[in-house]
Amino acid sequence: MSIKSILQNKPCSEAEKQVIEKLRHEANLEKIASSQSKKHGNEVSQFLDLIKDESKPDRKIKNNNRKSTFYLPRLAFASFSLCIASFLIFKGFEKPEEKKWIQDLSLIEDLVELEFQPDLGFMENINLENFTWEKPSVDLNLILTPIADFGSLFTDIEIVPPFNPYFDPVQNLPNRLIPSEFWDFKENTEEDFENFRDSIPFLNEIFSV
């Protein structure tokens, strides 16, 4: 069999011609039989009922309602992502090594509480007018702390939200400060403590020992 004869679609042998004739003959018989088939008739009428039902306006409204619910999970996921992103942008994050100053602060304060009446004059440098000690109507801790905990699962950076209620008291001091004031306070702390130490002679002796 040459390629040319295949491409010209020529049946080459008598046997093949017979096969074609038989196939066509059987196909015609099938057409007649299937046109008289009750089963097909029932199926077609069922299908026609279905599309008539489909074309009713009530049905279309139901379908549209069903489609609209499809966007709810997406919307929930998008708002959740937005919460995390906005938290990280506005509240920032801090590496664990930078917390060292907080430990120093707590050690000194313990010492002061045990032996001396502390002179907390340096506290005057902090603008107390900007503290918001009033409890807000909605406690953001309830929302932000789980998000921060969840976010810290995926990074090795420890997220330190100022709203975290589990902070120790010293760290909790700037609890309700706005972020810029919080960081200003942190930067001036060492200097403030040096002034504080200098103002009490006993402390100088202790530190020199």
Partner 1 sequence: MQNKESFSDEELAIRSQQGGMADFEELAKRYWPRLHRFLLTYGNDAFASDITQETLLRAYQKISYYHPKKTFAPWVFTIARNLALNSLKRSKRKAEVTMDDNFSESNQEIENDYEIGIMWSKAKQFLSKTAYGSLRLYYGEELTIKEVAFIMGKSEIAIKVILHRSRKKLAEYFKSNPIKL
Interacting residues toward partner 1 by CB under 8 A: 1, 6-7, 9, 11, 13, 15-16, 18-20, 22-27, 29-31, 33-40, 43-44, 47-48, 50-52, 54-55
Q: Return the structure tokens found at 32.
A: 């007649």
164 touches 141 (CB < 8 A):
yes
User: To the nearest whole angstrom, how small is the minimum distance from the Cβ of residue 2 to partner 1?
Assistant: 11
**R_g of the chain, CA atoms, integer Å:** 40
Concatenating the DSSP letter of every residue in 86-130 gives HHHHHH----GGGGHHHHHHHHHHHHHHHHS----GGGGGS-GGG
Separation CA 199–CA 69 (nearest Å) = 68
Nearest CA to 83 out of 168, 151, 152 is that of 151
Q: Which is nearer to partner 1, 20 or 82 (CB)?
A: 20
Q: Which is nearer to partner 1, 24 or 62 (CB)?
A: 24
Q: Which is nearer to partner 1, 30 or 113 (CB)?
A: 30
Q: Which is nearer to partner 1, 5 or 172 (CB)?
A: 5
User: To the nearest whole angstrom, how small is the minimum distance from the Cβ of residue 70 to partner 1?
Assistant: 18
Q: Which is nearer to partner 1, 20 or 123 (CB)?
A: 20
Residue 5 CB contacts under 8 Å (≥ 6 apart), including other chains: 12
User: To the nearest whole angstrom, how small is the minimum distance from the Cβ of residue 31 to partner 1?
Assistant: 7
User: To the nearest whole angstrom, how small is the minimum distance from the Cβ of residue 11 to partner 1?
Assistant: 6
User: To the nearest whole angstrom, how small is the minimum distance from the Cβ of residue 1 to partner 1?
Assistant: 7
